[in-house]
């Protein structure tokens, strides 16, 4: 297949170029993010390959269809950025890379948590400045704390196991319970109870109509004072305005996020010479107890290998017209994915 790759970085090209000689697909790499200004680049291809912040709304899908694009392969697990109903209507096939390395994301959630708990980001800068004062670096033990995990699919499950290993009591909320986790001692409960009992809360559910702004003024009010909130899932699970207020009132004691509600126009670019226009992320950055990374939880060597292998296999299956192992299908509300 002739495939247009959008939002490609050096690490994508490296991992795909390594494997491409073994496949028949002809790839064109574009650095540009897919949007209304760049969609024309797809012309002359059979399929496109996109990442988390590429826009696949109704208008773009329609334009892709007009150009003869028959398939979209996502280099990611989440697919909240795709208008699935429209893709189905246009008969554009969609495949993703499920669970390419749940541990990569779960370990990044732990990295955010441990950086916040021991302030290693501050210590690093102090020591490099010949400043060995440890005043203000008092942290907290994770061992013995209660951790609430929202969404116990592939990543949430890996995170539950890590936190059990850290000596935490682990609570979980999901629309489906995982029997293996229950046997390991994870306790499922209604969301409100989890929010009220947890010292640490980590989000691992997908973004959809039910989970949009799951963390809002109301749900924040149910949490313990000083709760640690970690989000490596999708930005819009958290209402940024509400969490800023909760940080100001100290309801949220620490916030670690790898994803941000308005990240589409910010992340994956060096903007260090630009004037930051997003007031909310600017405010979030002013808090001493907020740690932000730019959607890098997936970025390990192991995950990149898995992403490129699965994406090329997805393209093979699409080209052969056979069964699609990793197809994402439009499911009207009420269906289990």
- Residues marked active site are found at 234, 263, 295
| Of the residues 15, 81, 152, 311, which one makes contact with ligand NAD according to CB under 6 A | 152
Asked whether the beta carbons of 215 and 203 are under 8 A apart, the reply is yes
| Of the residues 83, 103, 199, 258, which one makes contact with ligand NAD according to CB under 6 A | 258
Kindly indicate which of the ranges 27-35, 43-51, 146-154, 316-324 contains the residues binding ligand NAD, using the contact rule CB under 6 A. 146-154
Q: Give kind and range of the element (H or E) at residue 221.
A: helix 217-221
Left, alpha or beta for 155 (phi > 0: left; psi -120 to 50: alpha)? alpha
Considering beta carbons, is residue 42 or 233 the nearer one to ligand NAD?
Answer: 233
Please give the structure tokens belonging to residue 296.
């890098």
| Of the residues 295, 306, 310, 311, which one makes contact with ligand NAD according to CB under 6 A | 295
Contact flag: residue 161 with ligand NAD (CB under 6 A): no
Return all residues near 162 (Cβ < 8 A) that are at least 6 apart. 106, 107, 110
Angle at 265 (CA atoms; ends 259, 269), nearest 5 degrees: 80
Q: What is the DSSP string of 153-185?
A: SHHHHHHHHHHHHTT-EEEEE-SS--HHHHHTT
| Of the residues 47, 82, 95, 205, which one makes contact with ligand NAD according to CB under 6 A | 205
Place of tokens 């795909």: 16
Separation between Cα atoms, residue 282 and residue 240, nearest integer Å: 11
Q: What is the DSSP string of 2-60?
A: EEEEPS--HHHHHHHHHHGGGS--EEEE--SPPSTTTGGGGTT-SEEEE-TTS-B-HHH
x-or-dash string of contact with ligand NAD, 99-118, rule CB under 6 A:
x--x--x-------------
x-or-dash string of contact with ligand NAD, 6-45, rule CB under 6 A:
----------------------------------------
Asked whether the beta carbons of 144 and 117 are under 8 A apart, the reply is no
Considering beta carbons, is residue 77 or 168 the nearer one to ligand NAD?
Answer: 77
Considering beta carbons, is residue 39 or 284 the nearer one to ligand NAD?
Answer: 284
Kindly indicate which of the ranges 15-23, 148-156, 238-246, 314-322 contains the residues binding ligand NAD, using the contact rule CB under 6 A. 148-156
| Of the residues 40, 175, 209, 275, which one makes contact with ligand NAD according to CB under 6 A | 175
Kindly indicate which of the ranges 56-64, 179-187, 202-210, 278-286 contains the residues binding ligand NAD, using the contact rule CB under 6 A. 202-210
Cβ-closest position to ligand NAD: 153
Query: Site for ligand NAD (CB under 6 A): how many residues?
Result: 30
Separation between Cα atoms, residue 78 and residue 95, nearest integer Å: 11
| Of the residues 143, 176, 190, 334, which one makes contact with ligand NAD according to CB under 6 A | 176
Separation between Cα atoms, residue 251 and residue 226, nearest integer Å: 5
Considering beta carbons, is residue 1 or 242 the nearer one to ligand NAD?
Answer: 242
Contact flag: residue 139 with ligand NAD (CB under 6 A): no
Question: Which residues lie near ligand NAD (CB under 6 A)?
Answer: 77-78, 99, 102, 105, 150-156, 173-176, 204-207, 210-211, 232-234, 258-259, 295, 297-298
């Amino acid at each position: 297949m002739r495939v247009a790759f959008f939002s490609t970085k050096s690490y994508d090209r490296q991992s795909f170029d390594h494997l491409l000689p073994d496949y028949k697909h002809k790839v064109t790499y574009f650095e540009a993010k897919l949007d209304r200004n760049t969609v024309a680049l797809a012309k002359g291809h059979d399929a496109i390959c996109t990442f988390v912040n590429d826009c696949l709304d109704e208008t773009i899908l329609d334009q892709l269809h007009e150009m003869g694009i028959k398939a979209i392969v996502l280099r990611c697990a989440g697919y909240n950025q795709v208008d699935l109903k429209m893709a189905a209507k246009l008969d554009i096939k969609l495949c993703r890379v499920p669970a390419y390395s749940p541990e990569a994301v779960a370990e990044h959630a732990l990295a955010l948590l441990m950086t916040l708990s021991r302030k290693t980001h501050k210590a690093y800068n102090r020591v490099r400045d010949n400043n060995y004062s440890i005043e203000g670096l008092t942290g907290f033990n994770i061992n013995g704390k209660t951790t609430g995990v929202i969404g116990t699919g592939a990543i949430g499950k890996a995170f539950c196991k890590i936190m059990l290993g850290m000596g935490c009591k682990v609570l979980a909320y999901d629309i489906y319970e995982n029997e293996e986790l229950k046997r390991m001692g994870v306790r499922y409960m209604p969301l409100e109870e989890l929010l009220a009992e947890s010292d640490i809360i980590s989000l691992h559910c997908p973004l959809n109509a039910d989970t949009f702004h799951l963390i809002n003024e109301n749900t924040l009010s149910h949490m313990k004072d000083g709760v640690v909130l970690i989000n490596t899932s999708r930005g819009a699970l958290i209402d940024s305005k509400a969490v800023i207020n909760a940080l100001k009132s100290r309801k949220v004691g620490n916030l670690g996020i790898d994803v941000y509600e308005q990240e589409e126009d910010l992340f994956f670019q060096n903007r260090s010479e630009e004037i930051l226009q997003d007031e909310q992320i600017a405010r979030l950055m002013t808090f001493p107890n907020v740690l932000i990374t730019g959607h890098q939880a997936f970025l390990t060597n192991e995950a990149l290998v898995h992403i490129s292998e699965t994406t090329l296999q997805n393209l093979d299956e699409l080209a052969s017209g056979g069964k699609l192992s990793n197809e994402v299908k439009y499911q009207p509300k009420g269906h289990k994915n």
